[in-house]
Structure 1
Amino acid sequence: MNRAFLLALAAAMSLGVAGCKIVYDSDKDETEIPAGPEGDDARNEARLEETFEPQLLPHIRDTALDVGELRRQIAADLEAAGTAHAQRGTGAGAAWNFPVRGTGVVVEANLESRARTLGLDTDDDAAADVTLQLGPVIKGTALRDGVPFYNFDDFRDQIEYAKLSRALNDRITASIVLPEGDPLGRTVTFLGITPLRAAGDEVIVTPAELSFQP
């Protein structure tokens, strides 16, 4: 081989190494995940498999405040409650993301749009005081920002970080099964995360678990 060919071959190999990485699945098969933007979805899917069941759900279950207790604590001192029980999102003025649990009666239902919601009465005054997001369009990044193990520095850039939030919301949406018929008057038990910037903010919950009582 001549010198020019060898140099070209070495350059091609170097580019190939820089452009992807090798990961191994449970069967020890080699799979290439591109290192750039085209690999974002695959990397985030791997993150979900590693963290959703083993870490995210147990964290929310173990740290969730009852919604009534959450209201009492944030009314007294939002910053103290956030420091003790929540994770703060990135950026100036970011919300505290509180794990929360509760039970309420459905008094409002918006099931016609892609951003479906249920309004729950959790304090027996016949008015909605908690909104559950059902998707498929879920607003916000509460599931990503409400746990301590999705750190921005571990992501390629802001775009990959945002894609993780969408992947989490999609995972939740796929798991929600509504009962047949009109949900008004049904009792719902929920576990999830709500973002709050002020004590008077509406409690809008992205659920991690949701169940309807018969």
Structure 2
Amino acid sequence: MLRFQAAFPVLLAGALALGGCKFVKTEDERKQAAAGAFNPDKLVADIWDTRVVPYIEERAGPFQEVSALAASDLNAAAEKYGHKEKQGNAPWTFAARIDGVIVAEETKSRAAYVDVDVNGDRQADVRVSIGPAIRGTAIRDSLKFVNFNEFKNQIEWAQYGKSFNTHVNGLLLEKLPRENLTGRTIKATGAYPLPAKGQLPQFVPVTITVGG
């Protein structure tokens, strides 16, 4: 009994000491926590060459064919070339290939673009984003193998969509010429959301070549 009473203050002192301790993560623990954090740029980079570009290249049709079918039979175009998330009000997004001539350019804005004639009438048929800022999330929205339910919330989903734009800009678009583009040929594969009536399709490339 006396031994118990003598030990009790020691135990109590130990408990109080622990209560005042502040546990600090080790460097390894911090690295593990960082590794497990949401990293949309890495997620995109990891699948870009092996899944994203091959998928869009395989699914894409000539732009004239895709746009004509979408105008005449949206369901058929959606089945053959399109994708749309089940959640929300996202429009159909189509994979397509462009082969034409640049008839107008806007390179002063951060959301730069070129307007492209694909049928030889010297009129713009599609607007191609050339960055650095890219509006929308057409690349993400064209992919059947990614979906909103794989992400924690709408914020992560939006960040993931933006990372596709950031990736293609760093990989391709920032290397494009920025002067005297009108009159040059252009070939690109990419995606665009179904435009509003009377509006040019807003095309985001995953491959692009600008000729002389």
Normalised by the length of structure 2, the TM-score is 0.80
Give unpaired runs (5+ residues) of structure 2: 1-10
- Cα shift readout 1:33-76 (whole Å, capped 9, x = no counterpart): 276xxx33xx2122123211110000011110100111221122
Q: Secondary structure at the match of 2:105?
A: strand
Q: Secondary structure at the match of 2:202?
A: strand
For residues 52 and 67 of structure 2, the distance between their equivalents in structure 1, rounded to whole angstroms, comes to 23
Q: Counterpart in 2 of 1:73?
A: 69
The Cα shift of 1:84 comes to 2.7
The answer to whether 1:45 aligns with 2:41 is: yes
Give the structure with higher Rg (CA).
2
The Cα shift of 1:148 comes to 1.6
Q: Secondary structure at the match of 1:165?
A: helix
* Structure 2 counterparts to residues 128-147 of structure 1, below 5 A: 128-147=124-143
Distance 1:57 1:99, change over 3 A: same
Normalised by the length of structure 1, the TM-score is 0.80
Contact 2:107-2:178 within 8 A present in 1 as well: no
Q: Counterpart in 2 of 1:27?
A: none
The answer to whether 1:187 aligns with 2:185 is: yes
What RMSD in Å do the two structures reach over aligned CA positions?
2.8
The Cα shift of 1:127 comes to 0.7
Q: Secondary structure at the match of 2:140?
A: helix
Give unpaired runs (5+ residues) of structure 1: 23-29
The answer to whether 1:107 aligns with 2:109 is: no
For 2:188, give the aligned amino acid.
F
Counting matched residue pairs gives: 196
Q: Which has the higher strand share?
A: 1
Q: Counterpart in 1 of 2:79?
A: 83
For 2:34, give the aligned amino acid.
I
Contact 2:66-2:81 within 8 A present in 1 as well: no
Q: Counterpart in 1 of 2:209?
A: 211
Contact 1:96-1:197 within 8 A present in 2 as well: no
Contact 1:74-1:199 within 8 A present in 2 as well: no
Contact 1:75-1:199 within 8 A present in 2 as well: no
Q: Counterpart in 2 of 1:95?
A: 91
**Structure 1 vs Structure 2: percent identity of aligned residues?**
27
Contact 2:41-2:167 within 8 A present in 1 as well: no
